[in-house]
A and B are shown apart, each in its own frame.
Chain A
Amino acid sequence: NAGVTQTPKFQVLKTGQSMTLQCAQDMNHEYMSWYRQDPGMGLRLIHYSVGAGITDQGEVPNGYNVSRSTTEDFPLRLLSAAPSQTSVYFCASSYWTGDEKLFFGSGTQLSVL
């Protein structure tokens, strides 16, 4: 059982470039989400989804897009990367039954130059 898988682990972009961070889970979780982790600021919610075809914004959604075409996958797209998006990104998933336990992937460290 792989859990939550994120790719790539590391990425360096130039300002203005676009890219997609991949996230897949094999636990049949309905809820999936993306967080960014910055020093001294904990984890902040970017976007989340409660099922295929349903997405919504979190606390810091600007500059990011998501889609959820299948239960398993929840990619995060950076349309035009900015240095302010340098961060560590985590994907998380959970059952949508009131059980709040989040399962996190191992993260993607992104640097935007």
Chain B
Amino acid sequence: GENVEQHPSTLSVQEGDSAVIKCTYSDSASNYFPWYKQELGKGPQLIIDIRSNVGEKKDQRIAVTLNKTAKHFSLHITETQPEDSAVYFCAASIIGSYDKVIFGPGTSLSVIP
């Protein structure tokens, strides 16, 4: 079955710096890769996603890149702000197969003012 690894497990950056979180997946059939942000005491919230027919997607300060050949995808946050501090989860799935959404273990991001 699918396995998703995520690195680093914790990340501290100075406000204004960039943060990068990397994930790898094992199932070449996976074709949808969402990223979720979980703030303290809340449920995860989708922040950006990418499908396998796209190599990069950007939404303001957040971008995701996908390398299908290497089976890895990354989240890039530029100009980090204290409100970016949260736990970030990557996931890999096959569109239409809801029982095959596999999440990574999470990255705790701290943005230091």
Which residues in A have some Cβ–Cβ distance to B below 8 Å?
A: 4, 31, 33, 40-45, 48, 50, 56-58, 90, 92, 94, 96, 98, 100-107
A98 in contact with B105 given A40-B9, A90-B44, A105-B43 (CB within 8 Å): no
* A40 & B105 in contact (Cβ 8 Å cutoff): yes
A100 in contact with B93 given A4-B43, A43-B44, A106-B42 (CB within 8 Å): yes
A102 in contact with B106 given A48-B99, A50-B98 (CB within 8 Å): no
Contact of A101 among B4, B49, B96, B103 (CB under 8 A): B49
Contact of B105 among A42, A58, A100 (CB under 8 A): A42
Closest 10 CB pairs of A and B: A104-B43, A42-B103, A43-B103, A42-B105, A104-B44, A106-B43, A100-B32, A101-B46, A40-B105, A105-B43
Within 8 A of A (CB), among B39-53: 41-46, 49
* A102 & B46 in contact (Cβ 8 Å cutoff): yes
* B99 & A90 in contact (Cβ 8 Å cutoff): no
